[in-house]
Amino acid sequence: MLIVFIGPPGAGKGTQCRRLVELLDIPHLSTGEMLRSVMDQDSALSRYVASYINAGKLAPDHLVMRIVSQKVKSPDCSNGALFDGFPRTMVQAQMLDDLLTELKRPLDIVLELQVPDDVLITRLLKRAKTDGRADDNDATIRERLRVFHEQTKPLIQYYASQGKLRSINGTHSEHEVFDAIRKALPVAT
Ligand code: AP5
Ligand code: MG
């Protein structure tokens, strides 16, 4: 099964994907995690990636797409994959459609986690005290939210018009959100 997770920063994409990969036994492809692992190296590419992430801006589409397409074509993903935080722009969504058409593997479902901005900011400022993510500070969180509304939100309509979108209220407890996600899946779990 191929699943896309869309949601603003702090919506719970990572939290819910970690639960879902266990349930469905498919790989978790988080572009944020992949880019952060590039950032951990000491290279010109890592400094290039950091300049986007630390400013709360999106990394260039072609770079993200190169990383994702390698993963999707690997044998690990032969039974499906869970895309966390990808696609994030209309260009990425169209590139993903083209890739999946080429592979003859259509997307099964797009899950959107809905959480209001004030709740997101509270969650991320709380996480900032424990996790040490470079982009969890007030100014960068606000920029990540702005970028989500401007560049990622249009994808919701794009996938709704394909009949693939399922919107989930992400403000409830982690457990309740996971239950709602399970019910939205196109297969019984
Ligand atoms: P990415 O790593 O994807 O971060 P994000 O979208 O900003 O979201 P987060 O990971 O902060 O939140 P989440 O939704 O995963 O929530 P989580 O489960 O952690 O991207 C980072 C950066 O990488 C981007 O800004 C960009 O620069 C770059 N990037 C990534 N993908 C890209 C792409 N495709 N194209 C271009 N650039 C890209 O939960 C958050 C907190 O809330 C946690 O503390 C958690 O414990 C808590 N929480 C979770 N669920 C609940 C709940 N139900 N109730 C209460 N608390 C909860
Ligand atoms: Mg995440």
Give the environment of ion ligand 2: residues with CB less than 5 A: 13-14
Residue from 133, 151, 152 nearest 53 by CA: 133
> Class of the 2-184 domain?
alpha beta
Domain boundaries, the chain: 2-184
Q: How far is Cα 89 from Cα 37, in angstroms, rounded to an integer?
A: 21
Q: How far is Cα 21 from Cα 178, in angstroms, rounded to an integer?
A: 12
What's the mean pLDDT when you consider all of the chain?
96
Ligand 1 atom having least distance to the Cα of 172: 53
Ligand 1 atom having least distance to the Cα of 35: 23
Give tens-digit pLDDT for 26-47: 999 999 999 999 999 999 999 9
Query: Of the residues 19, 30, 31, 72, which should be mutated to test ligand 1's pocket, given the most ligand atoms within 8 Å of the CB?
Result: 31
Cα 114 to its chain centre, rounded Å, is 13
What predicted TM-score, i.e. pTM, was given to this entire model? 0.96
Give tens-digit pLDDT for 69-117: 999 999 999 999 999 999 999 999 999 999 999 999 999 999 999 999 9
* Residue with the two structure tokens 């951990």: 40
How would you label 104-137 residue by residue, b for 16+ Cβ within 10 Å and e otherwise? ebebebbbbbebebeebbebbeeebeeeeeebbe
132 band by pLDDT with thresholds 50, 70 and 90: confident
Angle (nearest 5°) at CA 115 between 110 and 65: 40
How confident is the model at residue 148, as a pLDDT?
98
Ligand 1 binding residues, C-beta < 6 A: 7, 9-15, 31-32, 35, 52-53, 56-59, 64, 85-86, 88, 92, 123, 127, 135, 144, 173-174, 177
